[in-house]
Structure 1
Amino acid sequence: MNLSWLEDFLALAASGNFSRAAEERHMTQPAFSRRIRALEEWLGTELFDRTSQPARLTAAGEWFRQAAHEMLARAARLPGEAKAVAEAHSTTLRFAATHALSFTFMPGWLRRLEASTAVGPITLVSDVFARCEAMLLQSQVQFVLSHAHPLFASELEGQDYPFARVGTDVLVPVSAPDAQGQPRYPLAQDVPGVPLPLLSYSPESGIGRILREVRGAALERSAAQSVFQAHLASVLRTMALDGRGVAWLPETLIAEDLASRRLVEAAPPDWSIEMEIRLYRDRSSLGKAAEDFWTAVCDATT
């Protein structure tokens, strides 16, 4: 059986339309139909009732839909798991961390850990939270470092991935100051016909997802209007410094900007969002070096 047959099957199961599914899979309808038939012959049963329009799943097809999802998910995890087995005796630690924490929190945090335990070589992938999360779900990395909030449940929590709370941060609404040192774009401004320019996060951003969960309803009621969107807090920081609008930025990223008043808080303190900094780990055995590192992290947080 070819794994791509499973993707063909799921495309047809979603629409029930052979032409549409063939187009989605970038092939001709006859070629697509032959692949579906080959899958059915391999299984020894029909998966679709072709007498109806759209085609409907048979009882066997309904059962196989879940099996196909599980097989594809399992196949996606295999490269990471194979790598984990190969590196079981390696001293190299494999991390994914969100961009903001890679640049701000992680260096000092590792330095503090190194004062009490040996930390071997590290490979780091710095990316948006959604991709970091996917890498851990597929066992491509051993650890993920990210922001978290009780109101934002990631898939890692949904699947009970262990984590340690290794720090805290605050998401602060800020803008460039005006000539009097006051926020150029105060969040409380209420000028009819003059929307508040908001520098917002893309859907892939973990910080953006936290902001939407905690303050989304309040922002919808305000005069805020998104004028710029980006994955990275560092990009929004640059735009805020340039006076383009108000942005919620991690305090770890803008501490020096606040101290020098290049950026100022644009709202009362109750608009800020307290966050945790968490280290998630793979659920499977990590190998001696990574397990020793995890133990040191847990000991440092107790």
Structure 2
Amino acid sequence: MPGRSIQIAAGHTLSLTFLPRWLKQFHQQTGDFNARVVAANVHDAVVALAEGSCDLMIGYHHPLVPILLDRDKFAGITLGHEDFIPVSAPDDRGKPIFSLPGTTDAPLPYLAYTATTFMGRVVDMILNSADAPYHLRSCYEADMAMLLMKMVVERYGVAWLPVSAVAEEIAAGRLVQAGHDTWTAQLEIRCYRAIANANPTLQDLWQSLDNTSSCEHVEDDAPV
């Protein structure tokens, strides 16, 4: 792209919810620059960063489902945190139609992420560490949170979604949380760059991040 520019690979949900506000903030802090955003799943975003096809990668992270990058080659910063919660459409009283953990006689229709997705692995982590038995019946799969959210609104079942993806629907009363907090997880929002990337726009933005007290440098990624 012409002029001051940066190419970003971002997770599908973050590209719709987090990224627009975040870019506006840094336009105000660093001046105008052009941005090309490619929405991608985590695997493709990591590949794009490793191959130099993007300047910046933004995605979710969980310590039990880590994104592994060589710390000698890549730097990371935590930008914020977000809850990952089960949601259902409400009944006439505002209670979830489908509420965890379900029962043996009436397992909950489960709207799942495809097995290879980051969020699918996070849901598996939540379920595998559950203190109580759960009863789910898989009835739909998708690789994007927004597709699952639309299915939940249409009362097809229960799904786990980032709060930012469902905030408007919850505020409007079209969705409610479908279980207590033990069925939730907290995700980090992280950005990564290649240390060797000399793009001056990226360097300006990264310096601005360094000067933002709410951002934390990532120290716990391991090389792959």
Assess same fold via TM > 0.5: yes
Contact 1:129 1:204 in 2 (8 A): no
1:236 equivalent in alignment to 2:175: no
1:257 aligns to what? 169
Letter in 2 for 1:166: L
State yes or no: 1:98 paired with 2:11: yes
Alignment match of 1:107 (pick from 20, 38, 45): 20
Aligned residue in 2 for 1:222: 134
Amino acid at match of 1:99: H
Decide which of 176, 187, 203 is 1:291's aligned counterpart.
203
Aligned ranges 1:44-193 → 2 under 5 Å: 91-156=4-69, 161-190=74-103, 192-193=104-105
Percent of aligned pairs sharing the same letter? 29
Cα 1:286–1:119 change in 2 (3 A) is: farther
Larger radius of gyration: 1
Q: CA–CA distance in 2 between the matches of 1:221 and 1:159?
A: 43
Native 8 Å contact 2:27 2:33 kept in 1: no
Cα distance in 1 between the residues matched to 2:15 and 2:93: 34
Distance (whole Å) between structure 2 residues aligned to residue 270 and residue 186 of structure 1: 13
Instruction: Quote the Cα distance in structure 2 between the aligned partners of 1:181 and 1:253.
Output: 20
Quote the Cα distance in structure 2 between the aligned partners of 1:267 and 1:157: 37
Structure 1 pair 175–219 and aligned structure 2 pair: CA distance change class (3 A): farther
- CA-to-partner distance for each residue in 1:1-56, whole Å, 9 max, x for gaps? xxxxxxxxxxxxxxxxxxxxxxxxxxxxxxxxxxxxxxxxxxxxxxxxxxxxxxxx
**Equivalent position of 2:114 in the other structure:** 202
| Equivalent pairs, count | 214
Contact 1:97 1:144 in 2 (8 A): yes
The C-alpha deviation readout for 1:209-257, integer Å capped at 9, x for no partner, is: 2222343443994111221110100000000001011111110111111
Structure 2 SS opposite 1:115: helix
RMSD: 2.2
Q: Relative to total residues, which structure has the larger helix share, 1 or 2?
A: 1
Q: Which has the higher contact order (CA 8 A, sep 6+)?
A: 2
Distance 1:151 1:209, change over 3 A: same
Match of 1:24 in 2: none
| Cα distance, 1:289 vs structure 2 | 1.7
Task: Using the TM superposition, name which of 132-141 and 216-225 deviates more.
Answer: 216-225
Structure 2 counterpart of 1:223, one-letter code: H
Query: Separation in 2 of the partners of 1:130 and 1:221?
Result: 31
**For structure 2, which runs of at least 5 residues remain unmatched after alignment?**
216-224
Q: Quote the Cα distance in structure 2 between the aligned partners of 1:119 and 1:279.
A: 20
> Which residue of the partner structure matches residue 211 of structure 1?
123
**Cα distance between partner residues in 2 of 1:244 and 1:93:** 40
The answer as to whether partners of 1:95 and 1:141 remain within 8 angstroms in 2 is yes
Corresponding residue to 1:282 among 194, 198, 214: 194
State how far apart, in whole Å, the 2-side matches of 1:158 and 1:219 are: 35
Q: Contact 2:130 / 2:182 at 8 angstroms: preserved in 1?
A: no
Greater per-residue strand proportion:
2
Indicate the SS of the match to 1:162: strand
TM-score by length of 1: 0.66
For 1:247, give the aligned amino acid. Answer: A
